[in-house]
């Protein structure tokens, strides 16, 4: 249409990038019902207290720099499909979920951990995938069958990074 400010070429490049992200996410978003990750075979056990998992899954603190890399990675965390945040170098950021800026002041480390492990424990209707749960899932991509999206170490790294987002 005449008068459109956006070049069609730029738009289609952006959109095809988004489309492939959505495809991957559709495979990852496989939550069905509420599960207790602590009972999952092969996963580190963890105890939910209120709306938090107070103890580290690995027994140690994660590495925030690794966590940031996982968060912005389009193959691993895929967080920016839905979230935006203080990641100036990332051109495509999502608008389906709260901005992650300041999340480290809004939520405790334990609250961040539970939201990452299994956000459906906090909001049963959430679209956020459970990153450390394997039971009760449907439509899991074969490569992910029986495996959580993130390892316990990766969960701790992302939690450690989110905790630094205090502004």
The least CB distance from residue 42 to ligand HEC, in Å, is: 20
Looking at beta carbons only, is 12 or 34 nearer to ligand HEC?
A: 34
Binds ligand HEC (CB under 6 A): choice among 46, 68, 83, 133: 83
Q: Which stretch binds ligand HEC (CB under 6 A): 6-14, 39-47, 52-60, 104-112?
A: 104-112
The site map against ligand HEC for 3-22 (x = CB under 6 A) is: --------------------
Residues 117 and 39: beta-carbon distance below 8 Å = no
Burial call 145-167: b when 16+ CB within 10 Å, e when fewer: eeebbbbbbbbbbbbbbbbebee
Minimal distance, residue 149 CB to ligand HEC, in Å: 8
Least distance between ligand HEC and beta carbon 57 (Å): 14
Compute the distance between CA of residue 31 and CA of residue 128 in angstroms, rounded to an integer: 9
Residue 13 Cα distances to 6, 8, 16, 86, angstroms: 12, 9, 5, 24
């Amino acid at each position: 249409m005449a008068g459109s400010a956006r070049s069609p070429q730029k738009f289609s490049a952006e959109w095809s990038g988004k489309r492939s992200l959505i495809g991957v996410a559709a495979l990852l978003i496989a939550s069905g019902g509420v599960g207790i990750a602590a009972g999952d075979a092969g996963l580190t056990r963890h105890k939910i207290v209120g709306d938090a998992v107070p103890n580290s899954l690995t027994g140690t603190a994660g590495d925030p720099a690794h966590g940031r890399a996982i968060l912005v990675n389009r193959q691993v965390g895929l967080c920016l499909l839905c979230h935006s945040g203080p990641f100036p170098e990332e051109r495509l950021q999502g608008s389906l979920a709260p901005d992650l800026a300041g999340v480290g002041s809004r939520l405790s480390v334990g609250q961040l951990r539970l939201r990452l492990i299994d956000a459906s424990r906090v909001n049963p209707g959430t679209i956020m995938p459970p990153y450390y749960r394997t039971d009760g899932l449907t439509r899991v991509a074969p490569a992910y069958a029986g495996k959580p999206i993130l390892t316990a170490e990766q969960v701790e790294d992302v939690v450690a990074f989110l905790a630094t987002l205090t502004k």
